Structure 1
């Protein structure tokens, strides 16, 4: 979601802006270019929002010379004629999309929005709802224009959710329409809880399960994006988001099976990262995490992690490690991951992608979660080489604050002293020996100095570093 516009900002009409420029020329005897720049500068200093204003010079250039305005005018004229050339409509839609997609195109998007571009695109979709080529181009342009809360509200007020869902339901076998249509769903639901709710009321969850459970999924990406957005609490205006309930609804009707199926296609699948991110968004509680594992999700993720290391694919490694960390939040899954050689596989990945601190950070997060309240898993991590991994990574990337922090958290979980009352006398003794050996090795390899350096250099590491030093048994941990 783009930044919310300041509602206190003053606005100005296109006509009023041109009047200011004209007065600069006629009353202050400025040359046209100077008059234009002075108008922009003065109005900006006065707190006037000029987004969407076509900065033209009256008598020299015209609003109608702007390519975005020209596209909108052409579309209005074409749509008004029942015998319109559909190919021409598609060409103009594609041109509009390109104008609003290029780098630094925010002014073009603002101009299109201010001049009714989104309203026009929604009406085109409604009028040409069975014309596949028109729909694909209109959806692509629409997803580019929907960038903030104002545009998502325009989409909502124009009955956009219902129009788009009706089209997607009727064209569920047409991959191009489905893909571009769900790009609109993702854009419109971003940062707007009300729009999310409308899509859920229109059974978007059932449609997504149907589409992702079908045979023809090649080329699909945006349905996965839509799941992620629908299940993300990103509307700052809402105190209590409903997305947790939406995730349970998605899981109940079988979305996890479809998403895990995409993971089983392996690292060569173009949908792997998108499906992994979507599955992480669905995994909101222990029951769903266990269900994902029961459907082979842990096996699939571990296999993808192995393959990402072999192929040096950091993007896949990050996404899969992030998902595995979420799944490891379930105690049942923790045991399964460790039993399947998870610790060794993660350390092997750290060697293969040792130049990418973002991947190392994700690996540390998993080991941290696996070791939480689990001395056995902590021992497995240490045996696999987690201690050396932490030391080497912190020394290699001293300027990576998030990785430094995650390393401190992982070290703390590896050496934390657990509630002794839950263990028998023999277990207490074994735990004590384990803690002493591990801390001695880590301290002997200079971990104290490394953690203190992270604490000193990065404010975000302060608390995690203090806790790690304390659980390593150091008296001056708070210094």
Structure 2
């Protein structure tokens, strides 16, 4: 994707020129303009790739449909025409959801203050507020910079005052989630404003609503992200600690899981959030004590007993494996996981979803953590087919560096304190696969070298410069 940017007007002019000067039909004119700009390294991800309506008889330029919808909404807000607002909000929301370029164009042309004004006008009208929040959510998706202090306060106030209304809470939390993705400042401002108890409270109060539980858990998880490249460091760990210690987050999430034993989508989101909260040894142990490990193992077993194909089920497996990997950071929890029979399920997960690199990566990573500093677990893993499954994953995904790296780390952990396991693993063809990974991926060099060394293979070890025998420049 290119790094250069152009204005929507520049693209529209190029399309009109293709139509007027070269007599192209509209679709051909758009395709030609796209090809022209992309060949110049221009990023068109935020450009509406459609023909703008022709100029009117007086020569005035026409606008794209989303800007016409924004103008209609602006008039309804300015008058204010409360009866007209629902229709205009709905039209703008639908177009914002259609593609990112539409909502970007709307955002660049002042849509946010208009939609925020609509939210403020609707404060006393429940149905209108719900519609306005849904429109704000659609606009903020991918554009967290649009949110200002007034919008943040409006969202917090709406969630506080209408906490008993599941639909309004859901719409508000979606706005919060969109506003906090890749935006550390918004995350910190929301946390300071008291969003965490509102999110955990929504899960407790609306524990029978799959949409509310899933969205609230997702919003909590976003608060633990460190994904804003504009800041040197974030407060991800602090936010995770606050969710657990100040808002009883682990208990809230695990209790919520009990109401959705048949809803893999909700359980997947809860697992993903729990894995983000497993930042301390005591938190990992608390997850086990509260029954979190039990529901993870049960969910994984269910996925293996009813192996439904498709992205949805594979995502559930991936999230469960990621959560098991996270809580296994506690050495005592490692034993609990192995005692629960999870190693066999992890191996089955890799085997059943061998074509999915993310499942293979997380499965190898989970086994890798379980094997770390635990020789007794290593024997269980190898006897259960874990080493063979990892090597099969390496064969299936030779170009996936993450799979290769995790598999190498797993092999190394299996044999580093249990050298008697080296020969069986070598007999499976480990040396060739690890050597191939080392040759193909620079990021695998160190872990592959360590795995080969601990397997007892002949490997060249490079000595780092020690400061002796002259200078660096020879």
TM-score by length of 2: 0.83
- 1:382 maps to 382
Look up the match of 1:391: 391
Select which of 436, 440, 450 maps to 1:457. 440
Change in CA separation of 1:197 and 1:74 when aligned onto 2, cut-off 3 Å: same
Higher relative contact order (CA 8 A, sep 6+): 1
Deviation at 1:296, TM superposition (A): 0.8
1:317 aligns with 2:309: no
Q: Decide whether the 8 Å contact of 2:328 with 2:370 is kept in 1.
A: yes
Is 1:174 matched with 2:172?
A: no
Is the alpha carbon distance of 1:162 and 1:52 closer, same or farther for their aligned partners in structure 2, counting shifts above 3 Å? farther
Displacement of 1:130 in angstroms is 3.3
Contact 2:350 2:360 (8 Å CA) reproduced? yes
Please state whether the residue corresponding to 1:213 is helix, strand or coil. helix
- Could you tell me how far 1:66 is from its partner in structure 2? 2.4
- In 2, the alpha carbon distance for the partners of 1:375 and 1:63 equals 74
1:342 Cα shift?
Answer: 2.1
Give the match for residue 74 of structure 1: 72
Aligned to 2:263: 268
Does structure 1 conserve the Cα–Cα contact (< 8 Å) formed by 2:204 and 2:252? yes
1:456 and 1:462 in contact (8 A); partners too: yes
Aligned residue number for residue 135 of structure 2? 141
Q: What TM-score does the superposition give when structure 1 sets the normalisation length?
A: 0.82
Supply the distance in 2 between the matched residues of 1:373 and 1:21 (Cα, whole angstroms). 63
Confirm or deny that 1:200 pairs with 2:194: no
Cα distance in 1, alignment partners of residues 449 and 41 from structure 2: 49
Structure 2: gaps spanning 5 or more residues: 308-312, 463-474
Query: Displacement, 1:356?
Result: 3.1
Number of the residue aligned with 1:431: none
- Does the CA contact (< 8 Å) of 1:143 and 1:184 recur in 2? yes
How far apart are residue 199 of structure 1 and its match? Answer: 0.6
Secondary structure of the 1:344 match is helix
The corresponding residue for 2:87 is 91
Aligned CA distance change for structure 1 residues 5 and 351 (closer, same or farther; 3 Å): closer
Is the Cα–Cα contact under 8 Å of residues 14 and 33 in structure 2 kept in the other structure?
yes
Alpha-carbon distance in structure 2 between the residues aligned to 1:355 and 1:48: 32
Unaligned runs of 5+ in 1: 418-433
Is 1:237 paired with 2:220? no
Q: Is the 8 A contact 1:219 1:270 kept in 2?
A: no
Q: Report the counterpart of residue 224 of structure 1 in structure 2.
A: 217
- 1:152 positional shift: 2.7
CA–CA distance in structure 1, aligned partners of residues 426 and 390 of structure 2:
12
Q: Evaluate the alpha carbon distance shift between residue 77 and residue 269 of structure 1 in structure 2; reply closer, same or farther with a 3 A threshold.
A: same
Q: Cα RMSD between the aligned structures?
A: 3.5
Q: 1:257-280 CA deviation, whole Å, 9 max, x = no partner? A: 111123333242541122221222
8 Å contact from structure 2 (residues 224, 237) kept in 1: yes
Measured after TM superposition, the shift of residue 305 of structure 1 is 0.9
Change (3 A) 1:47 1:407: closer
Tell me, yes or no, if the aligned pair for 2:45 and 2:101 is still in contact at 8 Å.
Answer: no
User: Is contact 1:398-1:404 (8 Å) kept?
Assistant: yes
